[in-house]
Chain A
Amino acid sequence: MRMELIQPFIDAADAVLSDSLQSPVRIADLAMEEDTYRRKGVAALIAIKGDIEGRIILDLSPEVAVRIATQLSGMEVQATEQVVRETACELANMVIGNSVTLLNDQGFRFKVFPPEIHTSEEGLASSVDTEALVLRLETPCGEVYLNIAMHYLRRRARERDTAPVVS
């Protein structure tokens, strides 16, 4: 996977989590994943389409989600399934939204879709076209995983750049 596609996710995850949790966050592990994705807890999936296509999954345990929800809301929250899902989706939304903003600044154009909870045990496998990168982040509330599988569509970007301008 191209480094310029990865770096915005690392930077955004670090910035958003540190900022939201008001504490430093550590990138504990960064690895390419060749096997089929298996979720670790509650997973929020966001799809992207355009010059870059694929999906990003933010994955965390229910316990970590509740601790993060408590930190974000500034008060004790009940450990309900809805709170856990909402926390996963909103964290994914913020991390991935900030990442794609950075990618857009680099000239990549694509559309982001609202987060969905990924409930199946398995997800998309890596392939020649779609490599998956797993980022493990250590936060004061526990571990958060980002699983990034996407590929760059050079043809689509070229078509966009050479398309005649119609006023």
Chain B
Amino acid sequence: MAQFAPLLRKDHQPVRYLVVDDSVFARKNLMKMIEMFGGEIAGEAGDGLTAIAEFNRTKPDVVLMDITMPQMEGIEAVERIVRQHPHARIVMVSSVGYQENILAALQKGAKHFVQKPVKPEVLYEILRYVLSDDPSAAGAPVGVPVALAGEPRS
């Protein structure tokens, strides 16, 4: 299994993630990747409404958000979260990756998009970018995943 240099906040604490997907299976897969990246699970949600409540409760560093969900879809949840928390860092994770969806999510305030099935090395690079993009949060993660660098890590 590929190993990754930990993605840390500026205070050297683990990055805290909120994972939102109506599929328990998909959430578990994402949480496993977060663990590989040295992150911490702040919370999880199976629909947009719960995601908003969980965001307010846990104040995560990053949200991984599905799009097609019951009750409230991911794009609407992004809009509501960003309205209240303009610096929220939300990455859309969906199998439906057509341009209108991506544009709508970005216009509502999402920072990035990754299409399922998610490859750990792709998600890692996106998180690295999203975390280093905002100087108010930490991130500034260093190093590249071994999978990309091709060098074994101990």
Contact = CB atoms under 8 A, between A and B. Distances in A.
B95 A94 contact: yes
Interface stretch (B6-14, B55-63, B77-85, B97-105): B97-105
B50 interface: no
Nearest to B1: A74
B1 A90 contact: no
B41 interface: no
Contacts of B24: 82, 86
Nearest to B26: A90
Contacts of B1: 74
A100 interface: yes
Interface residues of A, number: 26
A9 B32 CA distance: 29
A95 to B, nearest CB: 8
A86 B68 contact: no
B117 interface: yes
Contacts of B95: 16, 93-98, 101
Interface in B1-52: 1, 22-26, 28-29, 32
Contacts of B22: 114
A114 B70 CA distance: 7
Contacts of B28: 73
A86 B25 contact: yes
A125 to B, nearest CB: 27
A87 to B, nearest CB: 6
Contact of B97 (A19, A20, A83, A97): A97
The size bracket of the interface on B is: 20 to 34
A148 to B, nearest CB: 16
B100 A74 contact: no
A114 B116 CA distance: 15
Interface in A86-129: 86-87, 89-90, 93-98, 100-101, 104-105, 112-114
A94 B100 contact: no
A51 to B, nearest CB: 13
A109 to B, nearest CB: 8
A87 B25 contact: yes
B98 A89 contact: no
A100 B25 CA distance: 21
Interface string B86-115: 000000001111111000000000000001
A118 to B, nearest CB: 16
Interface of B: 1, 22-26, 28-29, 32, 68-70, 94-100, 115-117
